[in-house]
């Protein structure tokens, strides 16, 4: 019998990275590796890095160094540490030279052969770190030609060639689909990759260069993966990509998401479908209708506004302004008054004036967002904005971040207080020994938008993965407190009477 090989996956960054880690886990498990959660008890630790902004890159380097410190530690078995993910793809050989503590730096092109790569490194060999390239050039310029031209191009989450004889617990149990996937936790919520890459050319963003051009997964692959996740006990799926509003444009149907969502909602076992990463400039009346009027589809809008001052948005190569954005939110809330809305904003962009900042504050005051992320501008390698004039001093950027963050915290706390008295359908994700349950309502995405704590009642506490009806009784920032009312077998969509009452009010 061959020696047992163990591997631990450490994931940083966004939900897309989490999906990629489960693809790597599936490929490794299919080739006989044992997955462990403790990096100190693994022969090899694989760190799935984030390369989006400086803070994320620092976290990735820290995680690699922390894993490297495990090598040779008493009571441990770690012999090698490998970097994968966005930072590894973006910097490749440069990262390998700057961080000799990592025994390997693997790019996306290595994912299909991840088992062989790790075995080589574990056996004392070296795998040459890749030289980064602009991945936008790997697919045809025309979206209509990309599906046929994608053969041989590595796109995490889109891999093909699943072996026919799979160990238990690996997708695809529900039929052929790509890629292999092994869950790394038992959470009742999981992300599903809808597409990869981005065709937008925002001047501050480097993601398209190392993630590539936009390419959709086929609906059959998405549906089969959703069915498999439901068989694993998942109750809520979150659709992720760099830009979900573009889904289907390379498959000949820009409205494909509107058709796919009802099909996902019909999957046995799934009770909530959530869509993330929506571009305001690409929102369509039909998509708003489906997101607010389809049973089991959460009326949730993760809208990438980034700013609202027209001059700043044009410099970012984005579209819209305060009034158009407020009109969009009014359209959404006319259909679903209790809809959840979140967004991120960049302050201190080159050339941003005090009047621009005041315009952003005007938008925030009128938008009534449930969750707000505020980020200070910093130059990113290879982006157009890095060469712009009009840069603000770091101290000025930090002051603006602090100022707008204070406003955002005040406004989101007020928005949370508006929900007191509402009844929320809560997906329970944890239950404390005293019976206190913690979960999320339809307006709250995992990790980013706060949570709902349901105090212990007199009866049997809810189980993890159950949906319960709870009345909101209090708040702390964006977090809510509630008392359980009854089990909730009904739909995710707001009752028509509540929607009508909200619209009338």
Q: Which fold has domain 422-484?
A: OB fold (Dihydrolipoamide Acetyltransferase, E2P) (2.40.50)
- Alpha carbon distance, N-terminus to C-terminus of the chain: 70
With CA atoms as reference, report the closest residue to 84 among 5, 9, 136, 191. 9
The structure tokens 């204070």 sit at: 406
In the predicted model, what is the mean pLDDT of the chain?
89
What is the CATH architecture assignment of 147-158+180-418?
Answer: Alpha-Beta Horseshoe (3.80)
SS (H, E, C) 188-252: CEEEEECEECCCCCCCCCCHHHHHCCCEECCHHHHHHHHHHHHHCCCCEEEEECCCHHHCCHHHC
Phi, psi dihedral angles at 454 (to 5 degrees) = -105, 115
As given in the structure block, the two tokens for residue 318 are 């984005």
451: left (phi over 0), alpha (psi -120 to 50) or beta: beta
Positive or negative, the CA dihedral 30, 16, 293, 430 is positive
Separation CA 448–CA 252 (nearest Å): 33
DSSP 46: E
| Sequence-ordered list of residues with C-beta below 8 angstroms from that of 254, at least 6 positions apart, any chain | 246, 248
> Within a 13 Å sphere around the CA of 336, how many CA atoms are in the beta-carbon half?
25
DSSP 433: T
Highest mean pLDDT among 75-89, 226-240, 488-502: 226-240
pLDDT of residue 367: 98
Prior bond to 156 cis, omega within 30? no
With CA atoms as reference, report the closest residue to 135 among 60, 207, 202. 207
Separation CA 240–CA 216 (nearest Å): 11
Give bridge partners of residue 428 from the DSSP assignment.
Answer: 439
Using alpha carbons, list the distances in angstroms from residue 12 to 46, 55, 58: 11, 12, 11
Residue 493: is its pLDDT beyond 90?
no
CATH number 3.40.50.1370 is the correct assignment for the domain at 6-135: no
Annotated binding site: 14, 50, 86, 198, 202, 205
Give bridge partners of residue 44 from the DSSP assignment.
Answer: 7, 80
Using alpha carbons, list the distances in angstroms from residue 444 to 338, 340, 369, 440, 452: 12, 7, 12, 6, 9
Q: Taking the model in full, what pTM does it have? A: 0.90
Other CB atoms closer than 10 Å to residue 129's CB: what's the count?
21
| Sequence-ordered list of residues with C-beta below 8 angstroms from that of 316, at least 6 positions apart, any chain | 202, 203, 204, 306, 307, 346, 349, 385
Using alpha carbons, list the distances in angstroms from residue 297 to 59, 265, 492, 502: 34, 7, 6, 19
pLDDT tens digits for range 129-181: 888 888 888 888 888 888 877 777 888 877 554 545 555 666 555 554 445 78
Across the range 224-241, mean pLDDT stands at 93
With CA atoms as reference, report the closest residue to 27 among 86, 99, 94, 112. 112
Give bridge partners of residue 209 from the DSSP assignment.
Answer: none
| pLDDT grade for 486, boundaries at 50, 70 and 90 | low
Annotated binding site for [4Fe-4S] cluster: 14, 50, 86, 198, 202, 205
Report the share of the chain in percent with pLDDT over 70: 91
Separation CA 476–CA 201 (nearest Å): 38
Higher per-residue confidence, 112 vs 350: 350
Q: Where are the domains of the chain?
A: 6-135, 147-158+180-418, 422-484
pLDDT tens digits for range 447-482: 889 999 999 876 788 999 999 999 999 999 999 999
Separation CA 441–CA 425 (nearest Å): 6
* Strand duo 467-476 + 6-11: pairing: unpaired
Residue 268 in contact with residue 224, Cβ under 8 Å? no
With CA atoms as reference, report the closest residue to 443 among 347, 333, 331. 333
| pLDDT grade for 492, boundaries at 50, 70 and 90 | very low
SS3 content of the chain, % helix, strand, coil (to 5): 40, 20, 45
Separation CA 199–CA 63 (nearest Å): 31
pLDDT of residue 57: 82
pLDDT tens digits for range 116-138: 999 999 999 888 888 888 888 88
pLDDT tens digits for range 419-452: 999 999 999 999 999 999 999 999 999 988 999 9
């Amino acid at each position: 019998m061959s020696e047992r090989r163990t591997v631990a996956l450490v994931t940083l960054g966004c939900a897309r990275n989490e999906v990629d880690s489960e693809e790597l886990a599936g490929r490794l498990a299919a080739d006989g590796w044992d997955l462990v959660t403790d990096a100190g008890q693994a022969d090899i630790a694989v760190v799935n890095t984030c390369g989006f902004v400086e803070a994320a890159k620092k976290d990735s380097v820290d995680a690699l160094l922390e894993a490297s410190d495990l090598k040779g530690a008493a009571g441990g078995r770690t012999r090698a540490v490998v970097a994968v993910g966005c930072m590894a793809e973006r910097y490749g050989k440069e990262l390998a030279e700057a961080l000799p503590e990592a025994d390997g730096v693997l790019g996306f092109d290595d994912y299909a052969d991840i088992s062989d790569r790790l075995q080589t490194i574990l056996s004392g060999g070296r795998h040459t770190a890749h030289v980064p390239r602009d991945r936008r050039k790997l697919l045809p310029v025309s979206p209509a030609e990309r599906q046929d031209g994608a053969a041989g191009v590595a796109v995490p989450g889109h891999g093909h060639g699943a072996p026919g004889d799979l160990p238990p617990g690996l997708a695809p149990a529900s039929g052929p689909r790509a890629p292999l996937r092994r869950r790394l936790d038992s959470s009742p919520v999981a992300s599903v990759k809808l597409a990869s890459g981005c065709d937008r050319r925002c001047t501050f963003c480097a993601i398209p260069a190392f993630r590539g051009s936009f390419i959709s997964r086929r609906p059959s692959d998405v549906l089969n993966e959703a069915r498999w996740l439901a068989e694993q006990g998942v109750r809520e799926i979150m659709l992720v990509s760099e830009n979900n509003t573009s889904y289907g444009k390379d498959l000949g149907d820009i409205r494909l998401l509107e058709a796919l969502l009802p099909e996902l909602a019909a999957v046995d076992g799934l009770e909530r479908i959530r869509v993330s990463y929506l571009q305001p400039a690409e929102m369509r009346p039909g998509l708003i209708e489906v997101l607010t009027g389809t049973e089991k589809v959460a009326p949730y809008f993760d809208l990438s506004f980034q700013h609202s001052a027209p001059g700043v948005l044009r410099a970012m190569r984005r579209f819209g302004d305060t009034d158009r954005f407020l009109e969009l939110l009014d359209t959404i809330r006319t259909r679903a008054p209790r809809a959840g809305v979140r967004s991120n904003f960049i302050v201190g962009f080159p050339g941003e004036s005090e009047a621009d900042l005041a315009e952003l504050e005007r938008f925030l005051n009128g938008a009534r967002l449930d969750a707000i992320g505020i980020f200070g501008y910093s130059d990113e390698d290879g982006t157009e904005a890095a060469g712009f004039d009009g840069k603000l001093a770091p101290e000025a950027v930090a002051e603006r971040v602090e100022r707008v963050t204070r406003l955002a915290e005040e406004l989101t706390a007020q928005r949370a207080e508006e929900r007191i008295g509402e009844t929320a359908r809560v997906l329970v994700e944890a239950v404390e020994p005293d019976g206190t349950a913690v979960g999320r309502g339809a307006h709250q995405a995992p990790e980013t938008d706060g949570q709902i704590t349901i105090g212990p009642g007199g009866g049997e506490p809810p189980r993890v993965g159950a949906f319960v009806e709870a009345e909101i009784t209090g708040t702390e920032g964006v977090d809510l407190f509630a008392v359980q009312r009854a089990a909730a077998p009904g739909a995710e969509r707001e009752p028509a009477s509540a929607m009508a009452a909200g619209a009338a009010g």
